[in-house]
A and B are shown apart, each in its own frame.
Chain A
Amino acid sequence: MKELVSLPASQTVHQDKRNRRFKLTAFRPRHMMVCLSLTVLSIILICAAVPQWIAPYPPGKMFADRIMQAPSSVHYFGTDYFGRDVFSLVVYGSRFSVLIGAFSVLIGGLTGTLIGAVSGYAGGLADAILMRLVEVVQTIPGILFALAIAAAMGSSLFNIILAVSVASIPGYARVMRGQIASIKTRPYVLASKSIGAGSLSAFWKHVMPNSIPPLAVMASNGLGTAILTGAGLSFLGLGVVSEIPDWGALLSQGRGYLGAAWWIATFPGLAICVFVLAVNLIGDRLRDYFDPKKQYA
Chain B
Amino acid sequence: MLRLIANRAATAVFVLIGTLFLVFSIHYFLPGDAVDVLLADQSGNEQIAKNLREQLGLNLPFHEQFLNYLKSLTQGDFGQSIINSEPVLDKIIAQFPKTILLTLASAAIAVIVGITLGVLSAIHHNTFIDYAARLIGLFGISMPTFWSGVLLILIFSIRLNWFPAMGSDGISTLVLPAISLGLVGAGFIVRIVRNSMLEIINEPFIVTLRAKGLSERLVMYRHALRNALIPAVTMIGMVIGDFLGGTVVIETVFARQGIGRIVADAIMAKDLPVIQGIVFFTALVYILINLLVDISYSLIDPRIRRAAS
> In the bound complex, what is the Cα–Cα distance between A162 and B241 (angstroms)?
22
Q: Per-position contact with B for A137-164: 1 when CB-CB < 8 Å, else 0?
A: 1011111100111011100000000000
> In the bound complex, what is the Cα–Cα distance between A132 and B22 (angstroms)?
13
> In the bound complex, what is the Cα–Cα distance between A259 and B150 (angstroms)?
11
Q: Per-position contact with A for B106-146: 1 when CB-CB < 8 Å, else 0?
A: 00000000000000000001100000000000110111111
Using known A-B contacts A136-B18, A143-B246, A152-B27, determine if residue A280 contacts B141 with beta carbons closer than 8 Å.
Answer: yes
On chain A, the number of residues with a Cβ less than 8 Å from chain B's Cβ atoms is: 47
A99 an interface residue at 8 Å Cβ cutoff? no
Using known A-B contacts A135-B15, A144-B282, A236-B248, determine if residue A296 contacts B241 with beta carbons closer than 8 Å.
Answer: no
> In the bound complex, what is the Cα–Cα distance between A297 and B122 (angstroms)?
11
Contact in complex: B142, A277 (CB < 8 Å): yes
> In the bound complex, what is the Cα–Cα distance between A269 and B253 (angstroms)?
13
Q: B residues within 8 A CB of A151?
A: 267-268, 270
Contact in complex: B248, A144 (CB < 8 Å): yes
Contact in complex: A231, B279 (CB < 8 Å): no
Contact in complex: A149, B26 (CB < 8 Å): yes
Q: Nearest-CB distance from A4 to chain B (Å)?
A: 33
Q: Nearest-CB distance from B282 to chain A (Å)?
A: 7
B233 an interface residue at 8 Å Cβ cutoff? no
Residue of B151, B202, B267, B282 near A296 (CB, 8 A) is B202
> In the bound complex, what is the Cα–Cα distance between A281 and B141 (angstroms)?
11
Interface residues of B in 147-170 (CB under 8 A from A): 147, 150-151, 153-154, 158
Residue of B139, B142, B144, B287 near A232 (CB, 8 A) is B144
Contact in complex: A255, B150 (CB < 8 Å): yes
Q: Per-position contact with A for B23-35: 1 when CB-CB < 8 Å, else 0?
A: 1001100111000
Q: B residues within 8 A CB of A262?
A: 154
Contact in complex: B32, A236 (CB < 8 Å): no
Say which size band chain B's interface belongs to: 35 or more
B275 an interface residue at 8 Å Cβ cutoff? yes
Interface residues of A in 141-198 (CB under 8 A from B): 141-144, 147-149, 151-153
Contact in complex: A236, B252 (CB < 8 Å): yes
A276 to chain B: closest residue by CB? B142
Q: B residues within 8 A CB of A48?
A: none
A272 an interface residue at 8 Å Cβ cutoff? yes
Contact in complex: A272, B279 (CB < 8 Å): no
B245 an interface residue at 8 Å Cβ cutoff? yes
Q: Nearest-CB distance from B186 to chain A (Å)?
A: 15
Q: B residues within 8 A CB of A251?
A: 146-147, 150
Contact in complex: B248, A147 (CB < 8 Å): yes
Contact in complex: B151, A224 (CB < 8 Å): no
> In the bound complex, what is the Cα–Cα distance between A269 and B143 (angstroms)?
8
> In the bound complex, what is the Cα–Cα distance between A203 and B167 (angstroms)?
56
Contact in complex: B268, A273 (CB < 8 Å): no
Using known A-B contacts A142-B245, A149-B26, determine if residue A277 contacts B146 with beta carbons closer than 8 Å.
Answer: no
Residue of B18, B30, B144, B275 near A231 (CB, 8 A) is B144
Q: B residues within 8 A CB of A269?
A: 144, 146-147, 150-151
A133 an interface residue at 8 Å Cβ cutoff? yes
> In the bound complex, what is the Cα–Cα distance between A266 and B158 (angstroms)?
14
B244 an interface residue at 8 Å Cβ cutoff? yes
Residue of B142, B263, B270 near A144 (CB, 8 A) is B263
Using known A-B contacts A139-B283, A141-B244, A152-B26, determine if residue A236 contacts B202 with beta carbons closer than 8 Å.
Answer: no
B268 to chain A: closest residue by CB? A151
Q: Which of B31, B153, B244, B264 has the most CB of A within 10 A?
A: B264
B49 an interface residue at 8 Å Cβ cutoff? no
B249 an interface residue at 8 Å Cβ cutoff? yes
Using known A-B contacts A224-B142, A258-B158, determine if residue A143 contacts B245 with beta carbons closer than 8 Å.
Answer: yes
Q: A residues within 8 A CB of B264?
A: 147, 236
Q: Nearest-CB distance from A248 to chain B (Å)?
A: 7
> In the bound complex, what is the Cα–Cα distance between A292 and B18 (angstroms)?
39
> In the bound complex, what is the Cα–Cα distance between A148 and B269 (angstroms)?
11
> In the bound complex, what is the Cα–Cα distance between A280 and B275 (angstroms)?
33
Contact in complex: B286, A232 (CB < 8 Å): no
Q: Nearest-CB distance from B228 to chain A (Å)?
A: 14
Contact in complex: B143, A273 (CB < 8 Å): yes
Contact in complex: A273, B150 (CB < 8 Å): no
Q: Nearest-CB distance from B133 to chain A (Å)?
A: 14
Contact in complex: A277, B138 (CB < 8 Å): yes
> In the bound complex, what is the Cα–Cα distance between A144 and B202 (angstroms)?
41
Residue of B21, B125, B153, B249 near A258 (CB, 8 A) is B153
Using known A-B contacts A236-B249, A259-B158, A280-B142, determine if residue A141 contacts B242 with beta carbons closer than 8 Å.
Answer: yes
Q: A residues within 8 A CB of B268?
A: 151, 237
> In the bound complex, what is the Cα–Cα distance between A185 and B22 (angstroms)?
34
Q: Nearest-CB distance from B257 to chain A (Å)?
A: 17
Hey, which bits of chain B sit against chain A, CB under 8 A?
14-15, 18-19, 21-23, 26-27, 30-32, 125-126, 138-139, 141-147, 150-151, 153-154, 158, 198-199, 202, 241-242, 244-246, 248-249, 252-253, 263-264, 267-268, 270, 275, 279, 282-283, 286-287
Sorted from nearest, which 3 A-B pairs have the closest CB atoms? A141-B245, A269-B147, A136-B18
